[in-house]
Amino acid sequence: MTYKTVYRFKNIINEAMVLGPNNKNITLIESFYKEEIIVRNSEVKIVEYSENEKILIILFEVLETIFENNIALNEVDILGILNNLTLDNGAALINLFLKKEVLITTFHGKTVFPRTLNQKLYIEALDKNDIVFAIGPAGTGKTYLGVLYSVSRLKAGAVRRIVLVRPVVEAGEKLGYLPGDLKEKIDPYLIPLYDGLNEALGKEAVDKMMEKGIIEIAPLAYMRGRTIENAIIILDEAQNTSLLQMKMFLTRLGYNSKMIITGDTTQIDLPRREHSGLIEAVNLFEDIDRIAIHRFDRFDVMRHPLVQKIIERYDAKYGN
């Protein structure tokens, strides 16, 4: 079998960083492209006439440029680059990591920024629109980034409150049968939202803000009859809203407020005969100014690499 050199690293240090500990990164790349890759003396060789030659040249240029600028990439980052890389967007991916558009610095000092081009477009959509529907599978950052975006706007003084809302389908919205006060009843259903809040602000600060009403939690059923101003309202798991619930929620929007509606249309828990309010809303509002429909897919998954494979298998067997 004949091999050809397709890329040369600038130096052995760059080579080592791109290969990763115990060649972990190069193994991931080989698995992704189903391609044998040989790296010796800073030269990258692949089988002659490989259909992956052009994309691999761009990939190694992207990775070397990012690493030589002292930016650490973990396995999830590498996979994100592999999933998003095309023959035309190498420079955009480099800029994504080199020119980080920091969304927020968390309570523990971690800087959070979009890690895929689609996540960057999501943040831009949140800036430009009053209502944003974020649809996609688990692990794409739709809820996490939505929460952190809300905290960043709260800290900047752009809004006065954050309101967290969720349909409690599992309990049939009949929360009276659960023990405790309202917060204790709905807390188990809001864990993904709390995770983002606690990471951004610290649990103690979150608890204090909830006591003062700066951060509010509410089951969807409790939103009826309200108009919410100067706030960002996040509706999570919106695929489990009915048509009437979604209409009711959207019409709560008040002056100087934004709504972020997140959901995964492949995980609907509603009774079989009931249509998802999220799906209907997306169909109704696709072309309205200041309403954005932002779609994520499995290529935006930023969790363990196995999550993407799990989604792929389910999609292959059962469809989207």
Q: What would the DSSP string read from start to end of 259-305?
A: EEEEE-TT---S-TTSPPHHHHHHHHHTT-TTEEEEE--GGG--S-H
Give the type of residue at 276: S
- Alpha helices by DSSP H, listed for 36-99, are 53-68, 75-84, 90-98
Could you tell me which of 117, 121, 123, 112 has the C-alpha nearest to residue 94? 117
- Residues whose CB is less than 8 angstroms from the CB of residue 143 and which lie 6 or more positions away in sequence, other chains included: 134, 192, 193, 196, 234, 236, 262
Longest dimension (CA), the chain: 72
Contact in structure between 32 and 78 (CB atoms under 8 Å): no
Predicted TM-score of the model (pTM): 0.86
Structural domains of the chain, ranges and CATH numbers in brackets: 3-98 (3.30.1370), 104-318 (3.40.50.300)
In tens digits, the chain (320 residues) has pLDDT values of 899 999 999 999 999 999 999 999 999 999 999 999 999 999 999 999 999 999 999 999 999 999 999 999 988 899 889 999 999 999 999 999 999 899 999 998 989 999 899 999 999 999 999 999 999 988 889 999 999 999 999 999 999 999 999 887 553 444 455 556 666 666 777 777 888 899 999 999 999 999 999 999 888 888 988 999 999 999 999 999 999 999 999 999 999 999 999 999 888 888 765 789 999 999 999 889 999 999 998 888 876 767 767 877 887 777 65
